[in-house]
Amino acid sequence: MTPRDVRMRGFSERADVADAQAWVDGLPRPRQVVRVALASARGRVLAEDLVSPVNVPPFARAAMDGWAVRGADTFGAGESDPVSLALVGAALPGHPFPGAVGAGQAVRIMTGAPLPQGADAVLPAEQGEERAGHVLVREPVAPRRHVGEVGEDVRAGTIVLPAGRLLRPQDLGLAASVGAAELSLRAAPSVSLLITGDELVAAGTRPDAARAQIVDSNSPMLAALVERDGGRVAETRRVADGEASMRAALVGARGDIVLVSGGSSVGLEDHAPQLLATLGTLVFHGLALRPASPTGMGLLGERPVFLLPGNPVSCLCAYDLFAGRAVRARAGLPPEPPYLVRTLPLARKIVSVLGRVDYVRVRIVDAHVEPLMSRGASILSSTTEADGYVLVPKDLEGWPEGALVDVFLY
Amino acid sequence: MTPRDVRMRGFSERADVADAQAWVDGLPRPRQVVRVALASARGRVLAEDLVSPVNVPPFARAAMDGWAVRGADTFGAGESDPVSLALVGAALPGHPFPGAVGAGQAVRIMTGAPLPQGADAVLPAEQGEERAGHVLVREPVAPRRHVGEVGEDVRAGTIVLPAGRLLRPQDLGLAASVGAAELSLRAAPSVSLLITGDELVAAGTRPDAARAQIVDSNSPMLAALVERDGGRVAETRRVADGEASMRAALVGARGDIVLVSGGSSVGLEDHAPQLLATLGTLVFHGLALRPASPTGMGLLGERPVFLLPGNPVSCLCAYDLFAGRAVRARAGLPPEPPYLVRTLPLARKIVSVLGRVDYVRVRIVDAHVEPLMSRGASILSSTTEADGYVLVPKDLEGWPEGALVDVFLY
pLDDT of residue A263: 84
Q: Which of A213-217, B57-61, B68-72: highest mean pLDDT?
A: B68-72
Whether residue B198 contacts residue B90, with contact meaning beta carbons closer than 8 Å, is answered with no
Mean per-residue pLDDT for B266-295?
92
Taking only the tens place, the pLDDT of each residue in A325-381 is: 999 999 999 999 999 999 999 999 999 999 999 999 999 999 999 998 666 667 778
Nearest to B149 by CA among B55, B53, B65: B55
The mean pLDDT value of chain A amounts to 93
CA A156 to chain centre: 28
Residues B211 and B207: their CA atoms lie apart, in Å, by 8
Confidence of residue A73 (pLDDT cuts 50, 70, 90): very high
Within 8 A by CB and 6+ apart from B115, the residues are: B59, B60, B61, B62, B68, B91, B109, B122, B147
pLDDT of residue A208: 82
Nearest to B87 by CA among B68, B72, B71, B73: B68
Mean per-residue pLDDT for A201-229?
92
Residues of B within 8 A of A312 (CB-CB) are: 170, 173, 177
Q: Which region among A84-98, B2-16, B261-275 has the lowest average model confidence (pLDDT)?
A: B2-16
Residues B288 and B312: their CA atoms lie apart, in Å, by 18
Nearest to A307 by CA among A327, A335, A284: A284
CB contact under 8 A, B380 and A173: yes
Taking only the tens place, the pLDDT of each residue in A101-142 is: 999 999 999 988 999 999 999 999 999 999 999 999 999 999
Mean per-residue pLDDT for B20-44?
95
Question: Is a pLDDT exceeding 90 seen at residue B273?
Answer: yes
Is A198 in a helix, a strand, or coil? coil
Confidence of residue A264 (pLDDT cuts 50, 70, 90): confident
Taking only the tens place, the pLDDT of each residue in B42-54 is: 999 999 999 999 9
Q: For B133, left (φ over 0), alpha (ψ -120 to 50), or beta? A: left
How large a percentage of chain A has pLDDT more than 90?
A: 86
Residues B324 and B319: their CA atoms lie apart, in Å, by 5
Confidence of residue B333 (pLDDT cuts 50, 70, 90): very high
Is A318 in a helix, a strand, or coil? helix
* Nearest CA-CA distance, residue B42 and chain A, Å: 6
Is A184 in a helix, a strand, or coil? strand
Rounded to the nearest 10 degrees, the angle between the axes of helix B324-331 and helix B17-25 is 20
Q: How many CB atoms lie within 10 A of CB B185?
A: 22
**B322: DSSP letter:** I
**B75: DSSP letter:** T
Whether residue B101 contacts residue B88, with contact meaning beta carbons closer than 8 Å, is answered with yes
Residues β-bridged to residue A281: A299
Residues A327 and A334: their CA atoms lie apart, in Å, by 10
pLDDT of residue A380: 79
| Sign of the torsion formed by the C-alpha atoms of A358, A359, A360 and A362 | positive
Taking only the tens place, the pLDDT of each residue in B302-328 is: 999 999 999 899 999 999 999 999 999
**Complete edge-to-edge strand list for the sheet that includes strand B232-239:** B232-239, B190-196, B257-261, B303-308, B296-300, B281-285
CB contact under 8 A, A153 and B383: no
CB contact under 8 A, B206 and A54: yes
pLDDT of residue A377: 67
Is B331 in a helix, a strand, or coil? helix
Q: Which region among A62-76, B4-18, B254-268, B378-392 has the lowest average model confidence (pLDDT)?
A: B4-18
**Complete edge-to-edge strand list for the sheet that includes strand A83-91:** A121-124, A66-69, A105-109, A83-91, A134-137, A128-131
Question: Is a pLDDT exceeding 80 seen at residue A155?
Answer: yes
Mean per-residue pLDDT for B170-194?
97
How large a percentage of chain B has pLDDT more than 90?
A: 86
pLDDT of residue B31: 84
In this predicted complex, what is the ipTM? Answer: 0.91
pLDDT of residue A10: 61
> Rounded to whole angstroms, what are the CA distances from A328 to A33, A34, A334, B43?
15, 17, 6, 18
Confidence of residue A268 (pLDDT cuts 50, 70, 90): low
CA A275 to chain centre: 34
How large a percentage of chain A has pLDDT more than 70?
A: 96
Whether residue B157 contacts residue B51, with contact meaning beta carbons closer than 8 Å, is answered with yes
Taking only the tens place, the pLDDT of each residue in B249-268 is: 999 999 999 999 998 877 76
CB contact under 8 A, A214 and B56: yes
Say what the pTM is: 0.92
Question: Is a pLDDT exceeding 70 seen at residue A193?
Answer: yes
CB contact under 8 A, B110 and A3: yes
Residues B71 and B361: their CA atoms lie apart, in Å, by 69
By Cβ distance, the residue of B59, B174, B214 closest to A212 is B59
Taking only the tens place, the pLDDT of each residue in A12-37 is: 789 999 999 999 999 998 889 999 99
Whether residue B331 contacts residue B271, with contact meaning beta carbons closer than 8 Å, is answered with no
Taking only the tens place, the pLDDT of each residue in A196-207 is: 998 899 999 988
β-pair type (A50-51, A66-69):
unpaired
Residues B404 and B410: their CA atoms lie apart, in Å, by 19
Confidence of residue B383 (pLDDT cuts 50, 70, 90): confident
Is B316 in a helix, a strand, or coil? helix
pLDDT of residue B179: 95
pLDDT of residue A4: 39
Question: Is a pLDDT exceeding 50 seen at residue A232?
Answer: yes
CA-nearest residue of chain A to B208?
A58
Taking only the tens place, the pLDDT of each residue in B365-375 is: 999 999 986 66
The mean pLDDT value of chain B amounts to 93
Residue to mutate among B97, B214, B264, with most A CBs inside 10 A, is: B214
Residues of B within 8 A of A216 (CB-CB) are: 176
β-pair type (A105-109, A134-137):
unpaired
CB contact under 8 A, A205 and B181: yes
Mean per-residue pLDDT for A188-214?
90
By Cβ distance, the residue of A160, A173, A199 closest to B93 is A199
Residue to mutate among B165, B211, B218, B221, with most A CBs inside 10 A, is: B221
Taking only the tens place, the pLDDT of each residue in B63-119 is: 999 999 999 999 999 999 999 999 999 999 889 999 999 999 999 999 889 999 999
Residues A354 and A351: their CA atoms lie apart, in Å, by 10
Taking only the tens place, the pLDDT of each residue in B334-367 is: 999 999 999 999 999 999 999 999 999 999 999 9
* Nearest CA-CA distance, residue B309 and chain A, Å: 13
Residues of B within 8 A of A340 (CB-CB) are: 340
